[in-house]
């Protein structure tokens, strides 16, 4: 395998190995040519200038002169070829160094640019720029996430503080409904914190899955039963098509993902019909949640899995959505080695989770 990679690199038309080999070959060929033809020319000129004289047996001053000229020409050619090769080696390194220095100073827009370099340097620059783009994207996402997190937590905390202060001042009566309202805000905070924790674990590659074997259809049916009161309050009709399917997965994480999908339909498609389908094919298990709500545009579908994104910020915020639900769904699906996708339709919303059964 290593030999194959080495030969492929060597065979590349613009590889560093190829350029070094060609450079040394050129220097050797030119040096030998200068030495060979230089001495032939010298002997021809000697015989032409001194036709009746016998060449001295020892080294004459002119011999040293010719030798010096030949060596100087060979050295000049070698120096020129080496200089050209050094320029090609240094140019991409300087470009990467300058871009790395800019990034280290906080300018994540720094990029390495170089033209006419060798293949390995081109790949290095391409990989470096890709890394810089990922750093810039992560830095922008971090700034936005910090701002969004502060905003999401500030609202329920402000409400909680106001209600508690009202209870302390006697503005509100300490009734059961008042305390249930406070518990609702605490639950909202707990949900946001848990969603953020899930996303952070997934980003850091530290999400631990407690895998067990269970029937996915039974798990979804039990979850829907627990959600029926909330869905009934939104006048939502649920239809189930559940294929009994054993999977090896994290039961609680899958419940969390499907719960997020049902909650998403309950919030943004109240009064609509919701269909939940569990099916399996070729070693893969699929959970599909569809609603007959307003649906999403193509642009909205492309952004739906982004953190804190909302199709209608004011409307969804009023309904209590944090914009994290679908991000959590995608993170859980990918943690299982699967995918999460939104159906390509402007009528209603169809979201599918696909995970391996084994």
Confidence of residue 265 (pLDDT cuts 50, 70, 90): confident
> Which alpha helices (DSSP H) does 2-60 contain, by range?
2-11, 16-49
CA 341 to chain centre: 17
Q: What domains are defined for the chain?
A: 2-132 (no CATH), 144-203 (1.10.287), 213-356 (3.30.565.10)
Calpha distance 113→287 (Å, rounded): 46
The set of long-range contacts for 199-203, using a CB threshold of 8 Å and a minimum separation of 24, is: 199/307, 199/324, 199/327, 199/328, 199/331, 202/331, 202/332, 202/334, 202/335
Question: Is the CB of residue 328 less than 8 Å from the CB of residue 195?
Answer: yes
192 touches 320 (CB < 8 A):
no
Q: Residue 88 has what pLDDT?
A: 72
Is residue 86 over pLDDT 50? yes
% of the chain surpassing 70 pLDDT: 68
147-171 pLDDT, tens digit per residue, is 666 766 777 788 788 888 888 888 8
Q: 252 and 305 in contact (C-beta within 8 Å)?
A: no
Q: What is the pLDDT of residue 232?
A: 76
Chain position carrying tokens 């340097």:
121
Nearest to 236 by CA among 184, 293, 310: 293
CA distance 215 to 213: 7
> For residue 276, how many other CB atoms are within 10 A of its CB?
22
Angle between helices 325-335 and 176-203 (to 10 degrees): 40
Distance CA(130)–CA(136), nearest Å, equals 10
Q: Residue written as tokens 């007959």?
A: 292
Using alpha carbons, list the distances in angstroms from residue 245 to 241, 249, 260, 286, 306.
12, 12, 21, 10, 30
What is the pLDDT, as a whole number, of residue 183?
82
The region of weakest confidence among 82-91, 93-102, 284-293 is: 82-91
What is the side-by-side strand order in the sheet with 273-281? Answer: 237-242, 273-281, 284-291, 349-356, 339-342
> How far apart (Å, rounded) are the C-alpha atoms in residues 54 and 220?
108
Q: What is the pLDDT of residue 313?
A: 47
The whole-model pTM stands at 0.56
């Amino acid at each position: 395998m290593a030999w194959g990679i080495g030969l492929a690199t060597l065979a590349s038309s613009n590889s560093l190995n190829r350029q070094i080999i060609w450079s040394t070959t050129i220097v050797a060929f030119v040096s030998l040519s200068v030495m060979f033809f230089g001495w032939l020319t010298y002997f021809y000129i000697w015989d032409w200038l001194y036709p009746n004289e016998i060449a001295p047996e020892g080294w004459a001053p002119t011999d040293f002169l010719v030798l010096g000229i030949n060596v100087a020409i060979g050295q000049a050619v070698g120096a020129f070829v080496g200089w050209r090769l050094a320029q090609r080696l240094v140019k991409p390194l300087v470009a990467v160094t300058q871009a790395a220095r800019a990034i280290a100073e906080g300018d994540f827009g720094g990029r390495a640019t170089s033209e006419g370099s060798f293949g390995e340097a081109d790949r290095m620059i391409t990989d470096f720029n890709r890394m810089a783009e990922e750093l810039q994207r992560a830095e922008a996402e971090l700034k936005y996430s910090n701002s969004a997190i502060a905003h999401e937590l500030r609202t329920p905390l402000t409400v909680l503080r106001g209600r508690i202060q009202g209870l302390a001042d006697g503005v509100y009566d300490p009734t059961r409904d008042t305390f249930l309202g406070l518990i609702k805000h605490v639950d909202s905070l707990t949900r946001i914190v848990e969603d953020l924790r899930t996303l952070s674990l997934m980003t850091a590659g530290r999400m631990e899955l407690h895998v067990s074997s269970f029937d996915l259809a039974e798990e979804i049916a039990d979850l829907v039963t627990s959600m029926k009161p909330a869905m009934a309050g939104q006048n939502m009709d649920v239809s189930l098509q559940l294929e009994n399917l054993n999977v090896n997965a994290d039961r609680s994480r899958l419940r969390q993902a499907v719960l997020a999908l049902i909650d998403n339909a309950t919030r943004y498609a109240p009064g609509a019909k919701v269909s939940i389908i569990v099916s399996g094919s070729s070693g893969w298990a699929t959970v599909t949640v569809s609603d007959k709500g307003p649906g999403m545009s193509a642009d909205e579908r492309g952004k739906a899995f982004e953190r804190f994104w909302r199709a209608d910020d004011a409307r969804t915020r009023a309904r209590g959505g944090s914009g994290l639900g679908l991000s959590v769904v995608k993170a859980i699906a990918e943690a299982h080695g699967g995918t999460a996708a939104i159906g390509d339709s402007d009528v209603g919303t169809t979201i599918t989770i696909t995970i391996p059964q084994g």
